[in-house]
Amino acid sequence: MARHAGRGWYGRVIGAAVGVTAVTAAASVWTAQAGQTPSAPAHSAAPKTVAVSPVIAHSSDAGAHAVNITIDDGPDPTWTPQVLQVLRENGVKATFCMVGPQAQAHPDMVKQVVAAGHRLCDHTVSHDTGMDHKSESYQSQQILDAEKQITEASGGVRPMYYRAPGGAFTPYSRTLAASHGMRPLGWNADSKDFERPGTDAIVSTVKSELANGPTLLFHDAGGDRSQTVAALRILLPWLKQQGYAFGFPVR
């Protein structure tokens, strides 16, 4: 998975990260399911789950002739609702890889994503595409603080996946995420929509990269995403015409 150039804007926008979260062998493992009820009251024990696989997921739970729509970097009050509308019009569910402070700033958007039956994914606190060169304590803070921010913003629904910014996974970060019930999530077809090359170029790129595998990468934040919205309006019906089903990444 190639790193994305020009995606360091979160580092400039988000000036302060939440404090470092300690990791121990006895750390609680969390689960997330789209549509689950908010977390239990404080006096009750938090639900725990068995750790998921730390292997980076690419395939779809909907079978061999299926695709997974994944949306990164939001939520955004302008573009996330438009992406949700296109998905709703086409009856498609997606996985939203959210940056922690973005979720914290727009909890209404996070709740709308969950209410529509989509899944949540942890995309770290600062969207640092070089985090694979940073300390384990830094990686831990980025992943676990974002998990907490997203969970709180959603009203108690925890992320089911972890996607490293720019694909900057490490064995440590994959194992840590998996121990918290978040399957590391890759991609097969990068729409290149972040570069805003034009709607036609986005559509063409996705079509040409479909043979690489089922998980498609789009964005709903980080700038003007009107080209992404327009491309999804074209691609989702086209994919259906080609006989593709829509699923979620495997867990």
Q: What is the pLDDT along the chain (251 residues), one digit of tens a residue?
A: 344 433 333 333 333 333 333 333 333 333 333 334 333 333 333 456 679 999 999 999 999 999 999 999 999 999 999 999 999 999 999 999 999 999 999 999 999 999 999 999 999 999 999 999 999 999 999 999 999 999 999 999 999 999 999 999 999 999 999 999 999 999 999 999 999 999 999 999 999 999 999 999 999 999 999 999 999 999 999 999 999 999 999 99
Identify the active-site residue in 4, 72, 145, 190: 72
DSSP, res 188: S
Q: How far apart are CA 210 and CA 204, in angstroms?
A: 10
**Active-site pick, 4, 127, 180, 219:** 219
Active site residue 72: yes
* Closest C-alpha among 228, 230, 243 to residue 192: 228
- pTM for the complete prediction? 0.83
Can you tell me the distance from the alpha carbon of 165 to that of 127, in angstroms, rounded to the nearest whole number? 5
Do 158 and 151 contact (CB within 8 A), yes or no? yes
219 is catalytic: yes
Half-sphere exposure (Cβ direction) of 81: Cα atoms closer than 13 Å:
6
Q: Is 60:78 a contact under the CB 8 Å cutoff?
A: no
CA–CA separation, 59 and 126 (whole Å): 27
